Structure 1
Amino acid sequence: MFFKRTLFLFLLQHLAIVSGYHHYHHPPHYSLDTDKTALLAFKRTISSDPLSTLANWNVTNDVCNFTGVRCNKQRHRVTQLILNSAGLVGLLSPFISNLTRLRHLEIVDNDLFGIIPPEFSSLRHIIHFQLDWNNLHGPIPDSFSLLSNLALLSVMGNNLNGMIPPSFFSNCTLLTNVDLSSNAFSGTIPPEVGNCRGLWNLNLYNNQFTGEIPMSLSNASDMFNLDLDHDGNTDLDPFFTALANCSSLMELELAGMGLGGRLPTSIGRLGVNFSVLFLEENMISGPIPPNLGNLTKLMWLNLTSNLLNGSIPAEIGGLLNLELLSFSHNFFTGEIPASMGQFPHLGLLDLSNNKLSGKIPKSLGNLVQLNYLFLNNNLLSGAIPPSLCQFPDLSILDLSYNGLTGSIPPDISRLHEIRVFLNLSHNLLEGPLPMELSKLENVQEMDLSSNNLTGRIFPQISNCIALRMINLSHNSLGGPLPEALGNFLEP
């Protein structure tokens, strides 16, 4: 009897445990009511709502009519939450994770703080996840690898840190757009990023990544924009060779990454639609490969502040779609190629702070769309070509700190639309000030100092009615100062 009673109690206890176990693990039932409860719980964590964006979030209103909320067609569940630039201050609440049918989460340009809750991994249907420009900290949760439907992840402009979990890129293979820029992420860029073959935009700049750029990025053949920021590669050839597989690549921004080594010839084999190359503020040395001229769709080319040297290849003149070209702060030598006057769309040309020599090519006068021309701080010689004075929309012309000789050409009057700055200082220019300078009515600053100019300062200079500063010092000018100059003349 004792045995039977003991056996009965044991079975009863086991049944209770099993029953309790199944009750404990029974998945919760989610509905529109639980979605409403979750959103009201999120609202309670908001300490400031200066625009009253959440004013109609209350018990009596239909949750599908809450500001920023959208439900599915059947109005069974919440599928979208968008609260941008509302000035919301408060904790990023884990209660959002109860919106288990959410497909689009976008809370941008607010002041949400705290971490990204690991509970957000319950949002298994999420496709668009965007929390840019808040005050979040901590890492990307490892559990985000469960968000296998995710196509867009953007958390730029926060204080997030730690390493990117490799599992995130291993499992979220539908990703097309990732922006983690302007945070404090560290470590290496996981090679698993190559598993996201549909990735077309990857922005990782303004972080603290180290190590080499993963070659697996070449698997993303649809890559359109690649903008990275870390310390690493010294051999750029494998990287650019791999990128040749990204036939859709149009933009590559690797500024300020501490890249070393030389520009490889493989750079000339980037995609046929490649249009933007930013490699400024690195430590890249050696010459520019001539086959860079093969990138005929290139519109923006910035190699500023590197250790590049040698002559500028004439093949650069084949980049007929260029709108911006900046080679400043390098060690280029030799003459400016005449072929650089072949850019019909060029708006900015900056060759300043190099060691370029010889005469300024007359062909530069063919750059009819030019707005900004910087040839300063070189070793240029000879006269200023009159053709350089025929730009119809020039705002800045800086030829200072060279060895230019001869007089200031009277054709300078043709720059009557120059609006900002004319700098011919620190050259060997001579002769009188041309009266035609008085026709530059829109120029704000004029610096002709440190030359060998002679003669008098004519009173008509006051016709330059927009002038705020004029510097004629360290010349051999004589005669009385025109009273109209007032305070515009620097000693």
Structure 2
Amino acid sequence: MHNTCEFEKSAVQDMEKPLPFVFLFFFHCFMSCLAWSQTNMTTDISALLSLKSYITSDPYNFLANWSVSSSPCSWAGVTCNTRHGRVHSLNLGGMDLKGSISPQLGNLSFLVDLDLSKNNFHGQIPQDLVQLRQLRLFNLSYNDFYGQVPTWIGDLSMLEQLSFRNNSLNGFIPLSLFNLSRLETLDWNSNIIEGTIPLKIGSLKHLKNLQLSRNKLSGTIPQTISNLSSLELLWLSYNSLSGYIPKDAGNLVRLEMLDLGANNLHGSIPSNIFNISTLTRVFLDWNVLSGLLPSYLGIGLSNLQELDLAGNGLTGQIPNSISNASKLIKLDLSSNKFNGVIPTTLKSLTNLIELDLGENHLTGLIPDIFN
């Protein structure tokens, strides 16, 4: 059966027949479309009730009105499309639900938003969800899903927001991921994902938010990451990444937060990073970085609030120009090899509430900036 009532050539010819016949034709068309809509809404109802049957705990009775006695469009967390009446959004985030995902959830063929975050769901992510081809938001964060990161994720080609943060997913970053040309958010923080970051990461041209911290990633940070000109947030901390910080990282001119801390990165910090005026937070702490800080440090960082370079092997003097980063709240340069006199210009950082210069080879007094 077709999903909509279509007029063929013969139907147009029937329009020339007596009025009662035309009326009967349109009535038949209307009833057929209505039957199709009701049949498919029955599919949606069945998929949602199947999910409810997989939920073993609903401590606040959020799903109490999930019943055949009412329209699913009025059920908690469910939103329907006003045009065709099908389930458009399922948002059960933060309801403290416990259970697993019913494979039948994949039958919600008009679903655009799926948010099951901040619950106690467990088990593997059913492969049946690959049928959700309209999905734009897919959020399973803060649960206890395990098993491999779905290799079929690249078939959900409409995805814009993809978050599996704080689960127990393992395996590798699947190459199918890079079929998601519309992707803006990729947040897989705090899982057990291993292997390397593929070079093809640079093909996700619309990516604004890339978070892969607290996994088991190894290898180098691909230079292609510098191609992500829309990137605003880059978190790769607490992995086992090695090699250099990409030399063209300064191309990320919209970057607001950069966190590469707690890895095995070495070499010098690309000086062009300190020209990204949008940066508010930079964490490069606890790596094996070396070399000098640029003499103009702080001049281009007019929005910087936090700078943490602790636990590296940085040398030379702390540039006086650091005082130009007038919005600094936190500055941690401890556990390096800095020498020379502590800049007196630090006293002009009137917003500073946290300063650590310990375990260096500095002389002089720390300016009294906290009075």
Q: Same fold (TM over 0.5)?
A: yes
**Structure 1 alignment gaps of length 5 or more:** 1-28, 371-390, 392-491
Q: Which string of whole-angstrom CA distances, capped at 9 and with x for unpartnered residues, describes residues 5-64 of structure 1?
A: xxxxxxxxxxxxxxxxxxxxxxxx971110000000111111111111111111212111
Aligned to 1:126: 135
Which residue, out of 44, 65, 77, partners 2:74?
65
Deviation of the 1:341 alpha carbon: 1.7
The answer as to whether partners of 1:156 and 1:182 remain within 8 angstroms in 2 is yes
Match of 1:339 in 2: 345
Residue matched to 1:210: 218
Structure-1 residue corresponding to 2:113 = 104
What does residue 243 of structure 2 align with?
234
SS of the counterpart of 2:129? helix
Q: Secondary structure at the match of 1:301?
A: strand
Are the counterparts in 2 of residues 333 and 354 from structure 1 also a CA contact under 8 Å?
Answer: yes
User: How many Å separate the matches in 2 of 1:102 and 1:188?
Assistant: 32
1:120–1:144 contact (8 Å) kept in structure 2: no
| 1:246-279: CA deviation from partner (whole Å, max 9, x where unpaired) | 221111111111211222333333x222221111
| Conserved 8 A contact 1:64-1:75 | no
Kept after mapping to 1: 8 A contact 2:109/2:131: yes
User: After TM superposition, which residue ranges in structure 1, 4 or more long, deviate above 3 angstroms?
Assistant: none
Give how far 1:345 is off. 1.9
> Where does residue 201 of structure 1 map in the other structure?
209
Match of 2:230 in 1: 222
Residue 288 of structure 1 corresponds to 293
Secondary structure, aligned partner of 1:37: helix
Residues 453-484 of structure 1: per-residue CA shift (max 9 Å, x gap): xxxxxxxxxxxxxxxxxxxxxxxxxxxxxxxx
The residue type paired with residue 210 of structure 1 is: S
With a CA cutoff of 8 Å and minimum separation of 6, indicate the structure with the bigger relative contact order.
2
Distance 2:69 2:78 in 1: 15
Cα separation, 2, equivalents of 1:52 and 1:266: 54
**CA displacement at 1:75 relative to structure 2:** 5.4
TM-score normalised by length of structure 1: 0.65
How many angstroms apart in 1 are the aligned matches of 2:268 and 2:228? 25
1:48 matches 2:57: yes
Q: Does 1:83 find its partner at 2:88?
A: no
Distance in 2 of aligned mates of 1:110 and 1:48: 10
Distance in 1, Cα, partners of 2:169 & 2:182: 23
By how many angstroms is 1:296 displaced? 2.4
CA distance in 2, matches of 1:177, 1:347: 32
Structure 2: 5+ residue stretches without partners: 1-37
Secondary structure of 1:232's counterpart equals: strand
CA contact 2:156–2:180 (8 Å) conserved in 1:
yes
Judge conservation of contact 2:296–2:319 (CA < 8 Å) in 1: no
Task: State the AA in 2 paired with 1:265.
Answer: S
Structure 2 equivalent of residue 186 of structure 1: 194
- Shift of residue 355, structure 1, vs aligned partner: 2.3
Distance 1:161 1:30 in 2: 39
1:33 matched to 2:39? The reply is no
For 1:37, give the aligned amino acid.
S
- The within-5 A match list for 1:373-384 is none
Residues 385-419 of structure 1: CA deviation (Å, up to 9, x unaligned): xxxxxx1xxxxxxxxxxxxxxxxxxxxxxxxxxxx
Which string of whole-angstrom CA distances, capped at 9 and with x for unpartnered residues, describes residues 272-307 of structure 1? 222211111111123222233333222210111222
Q: Deviations over 1:172-193 (max 9, x none)?
A: 0101111100110001112222
Q: TM-score, normalised by structure 2?
A: 0.85
Root-mean-square deviation over aligned CA pairs: 1.7
Equivalents in 2 of 1:326, 1:103: separation in Å?
43
Secondary structure at 1:293's aligned position in 2?
coil
Alpha-carbon distance in structure 1 between the residues aligned to 2:41 and 2:336: 62
User: Aligned partners of 1:121 and 1:289: how far apart in 2?
Assistant: 49
State the match for 2:274 in structure 1.
268
Among all aligned residue pairs of Structure 1 and Structure 2, give the percentage whose two residues are the same amino acid.
Answer: 36
Q: 1:187–1:208: 8 Å Cα contact kept in structure 2?
A: yes
Is the CA contact (8 Å cut-off) linking 2:249 and 2:272 kept in structure 1? no
Q: Secondary structure at the match of 1:316?
A: helix
Rg (Cα) greater in structure: 1
Is residue 350 from structure 1 mapped to residue 359 from structure 2 by the alignment?
no
